[in-house]
Amino acid sequence: MGRKKVKSIEIKKNWPGYLLVAPAVIMVLALALYPLIRGIYLSFLDYNLVRPFDPNFNSFAGLKNYIEIFKNKVFIQSIGNTVKWTAVNLIVQLVIAMLLALALNKNLKGRGVYRTLILVPWAVPHAIAAMTFTFLYNANVGIINIIAVKIGAITESISWLGNIGSAFWCVALVAIWKGIPFQMIFILAALQGIPGDVYESAKIDGATNWQTFWKITLPIIKEQVAIATILNLIGIVSCFNTIWLMTGGGPLYSTEIIYTFAYREAFINHNFGTASAASVILFIFMTLISGIYLHLVREKE
């Protein structure tokens, strides 16, 4: 029996089920596709709500919005910040998550408690985490400044989030703290799938801990780590709440990423044309990442 005929029989057999889930599928597609199509459409329009009576308002602008944002120094800076933000978060989160997963994969006393505690940052909402750390960084009453002054690390309180040199790293620290558990769960699950006999054989052969990790552990879990990393990368690039709530992209756009740039253009400057253009560029980047992820999943299957 041909494959097409088998599929046709399966569809006829399961049509009541497809009919039941159809409304939910249609609703999800509508909520996902309409904003996407509308955003791409707006990126080619002259759509600035500050000038609603302009003769060119809501008219086709071609690539004007894309040209304008690439001439915008803030957008160019946001691209650099996005790359820096992504690289710092990705590398630090991966290294720390790997170390924690390796430690928790051993037979430690109270291992369950440690795992639960490490998962706490992941459970904390972004808004709560941002507000808490903003208070901790506060120049007047923040505990970080108080402790640093008392131990002599600094002579006077510092405005950590108001300083160009420190704001980026302070916000990145919060994102790293929030993102490590997600990465760790994937790696730990992959490590627990490795048979113990493999390590016993390596130990008999005289392999060191580093050789065991580099030659055995990493090659076995590399696919799971790659998938977890790409999923984490999507979250890092689209991280908005933490940055916006803590610094608003400042000071002097030192923490501005493409996501915050698009939000600022749309809801503060009311220029939905350039905001949509920036969002489309971010969407293309995210689509490429998602494509890599799907390719890895298919290879794994």
pLDDT value of position 259: 92
Burial class of residue 155 in the structure, from the number of CB atoms within 10 Å of its CB (0-12 exposed, 13-18 middle, 19+ buried)? exposed
- Residues in the chain with pLDDT values less than 70: 1-13, 294, 296-301
What are the pLDDT digits (tens) for 190-218?
A: 888 888 787 778 787 777 878 888 888 88
Distances in Å between the alpha carbon of 257 and those of 84, 151, 164? 9, 35, 15
- pTM metric for this prediction: 0.84
- What one-letter code names the amino acid at 295? H
pLDDT value of position 15: 75
pLDDT value of position 166: 92
Domain spans, the chain: 72-127+163-300
Q: In this structure, how many other beta carbons lie within 10 angstroms of the beta carbon of residue 157? A: 16
**Whether domain 72-127+163-300 has CATH 1.10.150.120:** no
pLDDT value of position 13: 67
